[in-house]
C-alpha cells in the first residue's frame, strides 16, 4: 500500500514536527496538528539494563525488528518504593551508559524514574523508610504506607531535585515521571494525604487549623451543600499538592534543561482532582518545554476481555483533559509481572491500537521480561508489535489529537465530591460512574461534553453541576436513569424532564416494548434481566408522565406476564428543544439482546436529532470511536469485541462521501462504497472483521 494522506491533512495546513528530537514547537491547537507517525517506546526494567551484554542483546532484538520502537526508556528502580539514595545514584550511573548505547543505535533514550513518592510497601529494606525524616503518606485515620512518601514533605522534594539532577547530568533525551505521583491507592492505605505537612498546608489554604477528625466530620456531616463545598475545597488542595510538587521539580529541571521533554504517567485521577491541563502547563515551566503524557490503567492480562475497553475509556477521559501542547501521548501497555502467556500478543497489538482510537498518539510498551535472562519467549511479541507498527502510524496520521465525538457520560473534575454524598463516607465509596456497556454495541463514545451530541446523566454527577450547566444539558439530548430523574426534579427541572418516578420494584419485573416508532419492529418484545440474581440486581423505576407530550416506550410486567405499570422507559421533547430519555429498567447493563440493542441506538439517534456522526447499525458487539473534521470528513476506529467473526457489519456515517477506505491491522486497505441512504446517513457494508481486531476507517477513500 502507498502511504496514505490524512483526512486532516486535506483541510488543515501542515505544521512541521521535529520528530527526531521530540522537541515539537507549541504553536496552534494540537487538535488541528498533523502527525507524521505514532510515538512508540519500550520501557525496560533493570533485569535487561544493568548488564551491558544483556542490554546489547536487547538492542540487537530491537534492531532485528526496525521501527518496532523509537524510544528506549529505562526504569531507575526494580521495586515500588523510593529506593535508597546510594542505590539510585549507582544505578543511574549505569543507566547513563545504557542511554548512550541506545542513542548510538539511533533510538531516543531516557529515564523513567520509579519512584518519586513510591507506590506501596515493597522492598522496604532497600528503600527510604525513615519516618522521622521523610513523612509517609497518611490516610484519614492516621494510618500510613511505609513505601510511599508525602509530596508536601520538603525533604522529599529536596531528595527528588537531587535525583533529577543526577539524571539530567547524563543528558537524556527525556525523563518520565511515573504514576506513583498520586494521592490514592498507596497500599495498604487508600486516600491520602493527611499527614502533619498536609494538614498544615490545608490549614493555610482555608485559614484555620484542622485535625483529621475535623476533616472527616466536615466531609461526611452536615447538609449536602456543606459537604460538597468542603469536598471541593479538599479536591482543590489535592490538585495544588500535585501541582506544587511539579512546580518544585520543574523549576529545577527547566533551569538546566529547558527543552528536554518531560513526561508524566496518570490513571483516572478523580481523588487528585484530575487537574491534567494545569499540571501539564506546570511541567512545561516558564520555558514552555515539551511535555509528554502516558495515560494508563490496570489491564495486565487478557482473561477479562472487558477490561480492555474499560481501560480505553479511562484513557479517553485522561486524554480529554490534556493541554493542547501535549503531543506525545503514549498509552501505558503493561503486562506486569510479564508472564508471556498471560496476555496474547494479538491483544497487546490491539490494545495499542484501541487506546490510539480513544485518543492517544502512541504507545509505551512495558511488556518485556523483568529478569536478567534471554528474551527468547518475548521475541514473537516483539515481532507482532513490529508488524502492527505501520498501522499504528496510519491511525495517528488520521486521528491525530481530534476529540472522539458521540455519546458522553457526563463527568468533571469535581466528580469525586459526589462519592458517598447521600450516605456512607467520602473516604470509603467508589466513583459514581455507570457501567460502560452501552458503548459495546456500536454507539460512539465521547469523553468531552463539548464534542458530544448526547449526554448521559447519573445522579452522582448532577450533584456537581450548577443550575446553568444542568439547563444547558437539558436543552440538548439526554439519557438518564430513575435516580438522576428524581434529583433533577428535586432541583426544580421537572418542567424539562417530562417524567417523575412513583415507585421502585426490586423483584420479578420484566419490561415489554410498546408500539412506538422508536421501537420499530420490536413492539411486543420483552426483556427480563432477572432481578432475583442479586449481584446484578437493578431496581426497576416506575415512571409517570408529567407532561402531555411525554411518551412511554416500555411497560413493566410481572412473572405471570401481566402488566403492572404502563411506563418503565419514556421520551420527551421539552420547551428548550432538548430531548430526554429516561430508562427505568436496567439503564446501564444487559443491553445486548437484539431488541434492546436496536432500541438504544434508535433512541440515541433520536436524542441527537440525527447528529451522531455514525454508529454500527447492525447487531454486533463493537466499540467505536469517531472523529469529525470541520469539513464533514470522518475518521474512526472500531473493534470487533467478540470471539466471533463479525460478518455483515453495517456502519452508518453522517457524510456526503459515497465511499470510505478501511484499513486492517496489517495496514492493508480497501475502498468500500456506500450501499444506500438512511436519512442523513450513508450506509456502508464492511468486510468481515476477525475476533478482537480493529479497523481504521476514513471517508473519501483517502489515500
Chain contacts with Zn ion (rule: CB under 5 A): 150, 152, 193, 195, 197-198
Distance CA 650, CA 272 (A): 42
Distance CA 242, CA 193 (A): 11
Task: State how far the alpha carbon of 514 is from the alpha carbons of 372, 400, 519, 523, 569, in Å.
Answer: 65, 43, 7, 5, 10
Give the 3-state secondary structure of residue 63. helix
**Smallest distance from Zn ion to CB 137, Å:** 6
- For residue 666, count other CB atoms closer than 10 A to its CB: 11
C-beta of 56 vs 214, nearer to Zn ion: 214
C-beta of 117 vs 473, nearer to Zn ion: 117
C-beta of 151 vs 295, nearer to Zn ion: 151
C-beta of 198 vs 419, nearer to Zn ion: 198
C-beta of 245 vs 333, nearer to Zn ion: 245
**Smallest distance from Zn ion to CB 138, Å:** 6
**Cell output for 612:** 451522531
**Smallest distance from Zn ion to CB 135, Å:** 6
Distance CA 606, CA 618 (A): 17
**Smallest distance from Zn ion to CB 467, Å:** 36
Residue 292 sits at φ, ψ, to 5 deg, of: -115, 160
C-beta of 152 vs 655, nearer to Zn ion: 152
User: Measured in whole angstroms, how far is the alpha carbon of residue 340 from the centre of its chain?
Assistant: 25
C-beta of 197 vs 596, nearer to Zn ion: 197
Do residues 508 and 542 touch, judged by C-beta distance below 8 A? no
Could you tell me whether strands 330-334 and 526-527 are parallel, antiparallel, or unpaired per DSSP bridges? Answer: unpaired
Residue whose C-alpha cell is 463516607: 425
Distance CA 165, CA 71 (A): 21
**Smallest distance from Zn ion to CB 161, Å:** 18
Beta partners for residue 670, in sequence order: 662
**Smallest distance from Zn ion to CB 198, Å:** 3
Residue 274 sits at φ, ψ, to 5 deg, of: 50, 45
Distance CA 495, CA 471 (A): 11
**Smallest distance from Zn ion to CB 286, Å:** 27
Residue 311 sits at φ, ψ, to 5 deg, of: -70, -40
Which residues, including other chains, have CB under 8 Å from residue 128's CB and lie 6 or more apart? 81, 82, 83, 84, 85, 118, 134, 149, 159
C-beta of 193 vs 634, nearer to Zn ion: 193
Give the 3-state secondary structure of residue 42. strand
C-beta of 91 vs 197, nearer to Zn ion: 197
**Smallest distance from Zn ion to CB 544, Å:** 50
**Smallest distance from Zn ion to CB 140, Å:** 12
**Smallest distance from Zn ion to CB 321, Å:** 24
Beta partners for residue 246, in sequence order: none
C-beta of 242 vs 283, nearer to Zn ion: 242
Residue whose C-alpha cell is 496489517: 666
C-beta of 152 vs 159, nearer to Zn ion: 152
Distance CA 224, CA 222 (A): 7
Which residues, including other chains, have CB under 8 Å from residue 223's CB and lie 6 or more apart? none
**Smallest distance from Zn ion to CB 688, Å:** 55
Do residues 188 and 120 touch, judged by C-beta distance below 8 A? yes
**Smallest distance from Zn ion to CB 216, Å:** 16
C-beta of 198 vs 446, nearer to Zn ion: 198
Which residues, including other chains, have CB under 8 Å from residue 122's CB and lie 6 or more apart? 79, 80, 81, 147
Residue whose C-alpha cell is 420494584: 505
Distance CA 172, CA 163 (A): 13
C-beta of 195 vs 649, nearer to Zn ion: 195
Which residues, including other chains, have CB under 8 Å from residue 146's CB and lie 6 or more apart? 81, 121, 124, 129, 131, 136
Q: DSSP character for 615?
A: E
For residue 443, which of 696, 617, 687, 311 has the smallest C-alpha distance? Answer: 617
**Smallest distance from Zn ion to CB 199, Å:** 8
Helix, strand, coil percent content, the chain, rounded in steps of 5: 35, 25, 45
C-beta of 200 vs 576, nearer to Zn ion: 200
Distance CA 619, CA 520 (A): 15
**Smallest distance from Zn ion to CB 150, Å:** 3
**Smallest distance from Zn ion to CB 134, Å:** 11
C-beta of 193 vs 395, nearer to Zn ion: 193
Do residues 141 and 190 touch, judged by C-beta distance below 8 A? no
Amino acid at each position: 500500500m502507498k502511504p496514505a494522506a490524512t483526512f486532516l491533512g486535506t483541510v488543515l495546513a501542515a505544521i512541521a514536527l521535529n520528530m527526531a528530537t521530540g522537541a515539537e514547537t507549541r504553536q496552534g491547537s494540537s487538535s488541528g496538528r498533523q502527525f507524521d507517525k505514532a510515538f512508540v517506546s519500550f520501557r525496560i526494567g533493570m533485569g535487561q539494563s544493568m548488564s551491558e551484554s544483556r542490554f546489547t542483546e536487547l538492542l540487537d532484538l530491537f534492531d532485528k525488528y526496525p521501527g518496532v520502537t523509537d524510544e528506549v526508556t529505562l526504569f531507575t528502580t526494580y521495586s515500588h518504593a523510593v529506593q535508597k539514595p546510594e542505590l539510585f545514584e549507582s544505578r543511574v550511573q549505569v543507566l547513563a551508559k545504557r542511554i548512550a548505547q541506545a542513542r548510538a543505535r539511533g533510538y531516543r533514550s531516557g529515564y523513567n524514574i520509579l519512584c518519586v513518592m513510591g507506590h506501596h510497601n515493597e522492598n522496604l529494606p532497600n528503600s527510604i523508610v525513615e519516618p522521622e525524616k521523610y513523612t509517609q503518606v497518611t490516610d484519614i485515620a492516621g494510618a500510613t504506607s511505609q513505601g510511599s512518601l508525602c509530596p508536601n514533605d520538603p525533604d522529599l522534594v529536596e531528595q527528588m531535585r537531587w535525583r533529577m539532577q543526577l539524571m539530567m547530568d547524563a543528558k537524556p533525551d527525556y525523563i518520565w515521571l511515573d504514576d506513583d505521583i498520586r494521592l490514592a491507592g498507596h497500599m495498604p492505605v487508600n486516600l491520602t494525604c493527611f499527614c502533619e505537612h498536609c494538614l498544615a498546608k490545608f490549614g493555610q489554604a482555608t485559614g484555620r487549623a484542622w485535625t483529621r477528625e475535623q476533616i472527616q466530620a466536615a466531609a461526611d456531616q452536615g447538609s449536602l451543600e456543606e459537604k460538597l463545598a468542603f469536598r471541593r475545597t479538599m479536591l482543590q488542595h489535592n490538585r495544588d499538592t500535585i501541582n506544587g510538587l511539579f512546580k518544585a521539580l520543574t523549576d529545577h529541571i527547566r533551569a538546566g534543561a529547558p527543552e528536554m521533554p518531560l513526561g508524566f504517567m496518570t490513571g483516572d485521577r478523580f481523588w487528585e482532582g484530575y487537574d491534567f491541563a494545569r499540571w501539564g502547563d506546570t511541567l512545561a515551566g516558564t520555558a514552555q518545554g515539551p511535555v509528554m503524557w502516558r495515560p494508563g490503567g490496570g489491564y495486565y492480562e487478557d482473561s477479562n476481555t472487558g477490561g480492555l475497553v474499560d481501560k480505553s475509556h479511562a484513557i479517553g477521559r485522561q486524554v480529554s483533559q490534556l493541554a493542547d501542547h501535549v503531543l506525545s501521548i503514549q498509552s501505558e501497555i503493561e503486562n506486569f509481572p510479564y508472564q508471556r502467556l498471560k496476555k496474547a500478543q494479538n491483544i497487546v497489538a490491539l490494545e495499542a491500537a484501541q487506546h490510539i482510537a480513544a485518543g492517544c498518539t502512541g504507545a509505551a510498551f512495558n511488556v518485556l521480561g523483568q529478569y536478567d535472562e534471554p528474551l527468547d519467549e518475548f521475541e514473537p511479541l516483539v515481532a507482532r508489535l513490529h508488524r502492527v507498527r505501520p498501522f499504528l502510524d496510519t491511525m495517528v496520521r488520521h486521528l491525530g489529537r481530534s476529540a472522539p465525538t458521540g455519546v458522553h457520560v457526563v463527568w468533571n473534575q469535581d466528580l469525586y465530591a459526589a462519592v458517598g454524598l447521600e450516605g456512607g463516607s467520602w473516604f470509603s465509596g467508589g466513583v459514581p460512574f455507570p457501567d460502560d456497556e452501552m458503548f459495546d454495541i456500536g454507539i460512539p463514545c465521547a469523553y468531552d461534553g463539548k464534542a458530544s451530541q448526547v449526554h448521559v446523566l447519573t445522579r452522582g454527577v448532577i450533584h456537581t453541576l450548577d443550575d446553568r450547566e444542568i439547563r444547558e444539558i437539558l436543552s440538548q439530548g439526554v439519557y438518564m436513569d430513575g435516580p438522576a430523574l428524581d434529583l433533577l426534579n428535586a432541583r426544580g427541572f421537572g418542567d424539562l424532564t417530562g417524567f417523575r418516578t412513583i415507585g421502585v420494584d426490586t423483584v420479578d419485573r420484566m419490561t415489554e416494548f410498546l408500539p412506538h416508532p422508536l421501537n420499530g419492529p420490536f413492539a411486543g418484545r420483552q426483556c427480563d434481566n432477572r432481578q432475583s440474581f442479586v449481584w446484578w440486581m437493578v431496581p426497576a423505576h416506575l415512571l409517570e408522565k408529567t407532561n402531555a407530550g411525554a411518551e412511554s416506550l416500555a411497560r413493566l410486567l410481572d412473572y405471570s406476564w401481566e402488566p403492572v405499570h404502563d411506563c418503565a422507559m419514556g421520551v420527551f421533547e421539552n420547551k428548550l428543544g432538548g430531548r430526554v430519555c429516561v430508562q427505568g429498567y436496567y439503564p446501564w447493563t444487559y443491553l445486548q439482546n437484539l431488541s434492546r440493542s436496536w432500541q438504544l441506538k434508535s433512541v440515541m439517534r433520536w436524542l441527537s436529532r440525527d447528529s451522531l456522526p455514525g454508529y454500527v447499525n447492525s447487531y454486533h458487539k463493537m466499540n467505536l470511536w469517531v472523529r469529525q473534521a470541520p469539513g464533514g470528513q470522518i475518521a474512526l476506529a472500531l473493534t470487533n469485541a467478540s470471539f466471533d467473526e463479525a460478518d455483515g457489519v453495517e456502519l452508518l456515517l453522517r457524510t456526503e462521501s459515497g465511499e470510505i477506505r478501511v484499513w486492517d491491522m496489517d495496514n492493508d486497505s480497501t475502498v468500500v462504497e456506500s450501499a444506500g441512504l438512511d436519512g442523513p446517513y450513508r450506509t456502508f457494508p464492511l468486510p468481515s472483521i476477525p475476533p478482537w481486531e480493529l479497523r481504521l476507517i476514513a471517508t473519501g477513500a483517502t489515500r
